[in-house]
Every structure is written in structure tokens, then in C-alpha cells.
Amino acid sequence: MLQDLARQRIDHLFSLAIRTAHSRPDLSDRYVAMALKLSERTRVRLPRRWRYFVCRSCKRFLYPGTTARVRIQQRRSPHAVVTCLRCGEIKRYLLKGGGKSEGEGKQ
């Protein structure tokens, strides 16, 4: 089926983007752009795990340590704050589930 193929292709493009994130961030952006276009054209929704890696605003690849900054905030409920280093867009994700909290409750 076309949609299955598209899904595989999207997975592949994102794994390429991750692989090239450090050495060729420009390529990562190209892969992500292709994946987004494909998902639009085929109406395949981007899997949640990949949505974390795309900036909502500039649609470029968000990768912690290169194109994104990730901070953990402990205020109220613990959440991660992801900042796109290229357009400044900020996303917040609640961190749920048990597990040890990572100390360091500054701010």
C-alpha cells in the first residue's frame, strides 16, 4: 500500500536526518523537509516520535545539542523545554511516569 511505503520512507528519512545531524545539519533539514512533504502528500500522519524532532514554527530538524536546546524544568509538574536554536520557537513537554527525578531543582 502506498501509505505503508510512505511510512517506511518517512522513518528512513528521519533516521538519515539523525545520522547526519552533527556532520551535515543542512542535509538533516533536507531529509526532514522531504519527510514532511511526503506525509502531506500521502496524508500519512507523522509518527509522534518524529514530531518531537521537527520545529513547529520553521519546520526544520530539531536535534538536542545541535539545533535544539533541551532543559528540564521541575517547577509545578516536571516538563522538558525544547528551544529551536534557529527560530527561537519553544515547545514544552510534560514528563510523566514515575522514575527518579533528576535532582537539581534550580530556578
Which residues in this chain contact Zn ion in the complex, by CB under 5 A? 55, 57-58, 84, 86-87, 89
Question: In terms of CB distance, is 10 or 32 closer to Zn ion?
Answer: 32
Closest distance to Zn ion from the beta carbon of 27 (Å): 17
Amino acid at 75: R
Distance CA 54, CA 39 (A): 13
Q: Are 40 and 6 in contact (CB under 8 A)?
A: no
Nearer to Zn ion, 6 or 27 (CB): 27
Furthest C-alpha separation in the chain: 51
Nearer to Zn ion, 16 or 62 (CB): 62
What would the grid cell of residue 89 be? 520557537
CB of 89 to Zn ion, least distance (A): 4
* Shortest spacing between CB 50 and Zn ion, in angstroms: 15
Contacts of 57 (CB under 8 A, 6+ apart): 84, 87, 89
